Structure 1
Amino acid sequence: MTGAAIVLLLSIAAGGMVFVYHTLYVQTTPVHLSHPRMPPSIFIHITDLHGRTRFLNGTLHRLVNRWRPDMIFVTGDLTQNRDQLANVMREIAKLVAKDGIFFVPGNYEREEMRGFQKRNYTGADYTASKKQWQTCMKVLENQDSIVRIGDTRMRIYGFDNSTYGFEQYHTEVSDEHADCTVLLAHSPSIISYIRANGVQGDLLLTGHTHGGQIRLLGKTLGPYRHFHVGIKKDDRVGLFAISRGLGTSRIPLRFCCFPEITVYLINHPPCKK
């Protein structure tokens, strides 16, 4: 083998290792927030697993549980196909959150990829999957869940899959009767519905875009260029968060767009973890 061929093979191997690292090394993003009516709390947001529960730096439950969260929010796309659901649910069952785990469905809760073909689930398929989600998560499909943390009344509203027009907003809890409102949706496109229907909150958590999976010079490539990555202020929902998520879809690679777990530290002083 010539020297040039060896250099080429080493370059290919090094490039492959870079892609593996960017695809399978989870970054934890801490977000410090203050809220006058909340006790010190830790919320964790995960999304878009697409069947992936093991990473270079640990399994999902170990990466999450080390924070000892009060709540965990899961915003859809647990699997790429139904064959992965049992394994994913075994991992989610190991997550520990004092005040519960809350889930909203994504588009891959109603469809799956088989090779290069997308197949829609039947109603019976969806119902069977929902029974598995409910074994360890509170499933919210256009509904509220009220959680009391000390003297604080926290409202969690979960929108059903906002990529197919299933989202609705009907609540019996007025804003005056909730000290804090967290809105959950799979797709950030829910923001259009929120603005059109006068919905308000303190924090909106979404995923779906994977941050684009491939980013160059800090910019998203592909169809989600019009969405931000991370968190920005919003006059309707306080903070509008779009997580990069954990898994991949279409192409099984990430570049300059690491998988992400977001940790919201409410009324906590900055700390190293």
Structure 2
Amino acid sequence: MKLTRRKFIKNMVRSFLGFLGLSGLSYYYAKYIEPDLLTVKKFSINHSKIPKSFHNVDILQFSDTHIGFHYDLNKFEQLVETMNQRNPDLILFTGDLVDEPQTYSFTDRLPALLNRLEAPLGKYWIYGNHDHGGYGTEKIYEVMSRGGFTLLQNEHTSIQKEGESFTLAGLDDVMLGRPDIEETLAQRSENSFTLFLAHEPDIADQVQRYGVDVQLSGHSHGGQVQLPIYGYLVTPPLAEKYVEGHYRLPDGMDLFVSRGLGTTRMPYRFLCRPEFSIFRLKSPEI
């Protein structure tokens, strides 16, 4: 009998749970300890098109909080404080704020916490599949807007500093939205350094054809559970080729994929700590 993808994933999950069952300590670690072991990934982005005024500018990316699924607002408040301590110049959220918008009990606390995040060059976000899912499109937009974030949905903007600028573009979610790469980059100056936000990383194979310099993504959770030798236990659709970290694509585009912060489907992280990322821009003119 042919083994379907769904059955394969279920078998792998059962195998992992059996693996954890061999050791109560392993289970406890994966469910209660590692999901709280927040890490900060630091990268330098060196590019000939980065203007002089943006040298040493810090961009903070966070992704996939999945609030409501074993990630509550107390944890999110701690995250906000930790991110503010990094004094980012620009903050970017790459999707999946709440795990199930249709069942989550929204309060004023969530937009208030988002509003506490500070970045002099602005705060921007894009939709993830969970943001569109469960009829959450309008609600998540309302929460993020009240939190001081600007949505980029198949559009781009110009980030300005001391009379110079670069292009920040955001794609609608690939799985449940209406993504349009051409529309997103329409009338963009090709000479402008372009930073592209896309929730699902595997779309990078298409994005790189448009002269984009850097893509930031999430969605993968880094596999969420990694096993020695085997590697990633489960990766979601459109995050199966590019799962975590930095990739240099054939056309010269750099792709960075975040493991994200929360969990989904399974409340475990194993050998795959949650993270947010800081990118320091480097200009060749300095």
TM-score range, shorter chain: 0.7 to 0.9
- Whichever residue aligns with residue 173 of structure 1, its letter is R
Q: SS in structure 2 opposite 1:110?
A: helix
- Structure 1 residue 184 corresponds to structure 2 residue 197: yes
Verify the 8 A CA contact 2:30 2:269 in the aligned structure 1. no
- Structure 1 residue 89 corresponds to structure 2 residue 102: no
Aligned residues: 243
What is the aligned partner in structure 1 of residue 234 from structure 2?
A: 222
Q: SS in structure 1 opposite 2:222?
A: helix
Q: Which has the higher strand share?
A: 1
Deviations 1:39-72 (A, max 9, x none): 220000100000135449x811111111111101
Written as runs of structure 1 = structure 2, the 5 A alignment for 1:100-249 is: 100-111=122-133, 120-121=134-135, 126-135=137-146, 136-164=148-176, 166-168=178-180, 169-170=182-183, 171-176=186-191, 178=192, 180-195=193-208, 198-217=209-228, 219-224=231-236, 225-236=240-251, 238-249=253-264
Q: What is the rounded CA distance, in whole Å, between the counterparts of 1:262 and 1:223 in structure 2?
A: 20
- Structure 1, unmatched stretches of 5+, are 1-10, 112-119, 269-273
| Change in CA separation of 1:70 and 1:237 when aligned onto 2, cut-off 3 Å | farther
Q: What is the rounded CA distance, in whole Å, between the counterparts of 2:46 and 2:206 in structure 1?
A: 27
- Structure 1 residue 63 corresponds to structure 2 residue 63: no
* TM-score for the superposition, normalised by structure 1: 0.80
Verify the 8 A CA contact 2:220 2:243 in the aligned structure 1. no
Verify the 8 A CA contact 1:188 1:208 in the aligned structure 2. yes
Root-mean-square deviation (CA), in Å? 2.4
Q: What is the rounded CA distance, in whole Å, between the counterparts of 1:80 and 1:264 in structure 2?
A: 26
Q: What is the rounded CA distance, in whole Å, between the counterparts of 1:237 and 1:248 in structure 2?
A: 32
1:192 Cα offset (Å): 3.6
Name the stretch that deviates more: 152-161 or 214-223: 214-223
Q: Which has the higher helix share?
A: 2
Name the stretch that deviates more: 146-155 or 218-227: 218-227
Verify the 8 A CA contact 1:33 1:264 in the aligned structure 2. yes
1:145 Cα offset (Å): 1.0
* TM-score for the superposition, normalised by structure 2: 0.77
1:191 Cα offset (Å): 1.6
Deviations 1:154-206 (A, max 9, x none): 11110000123621032222212x2x2110011113224325xx322221000
Verify the 8 A CA contact 1:26 1:55 in the aligned structure 2. no
1:245 Cα offset (Å): 0.3
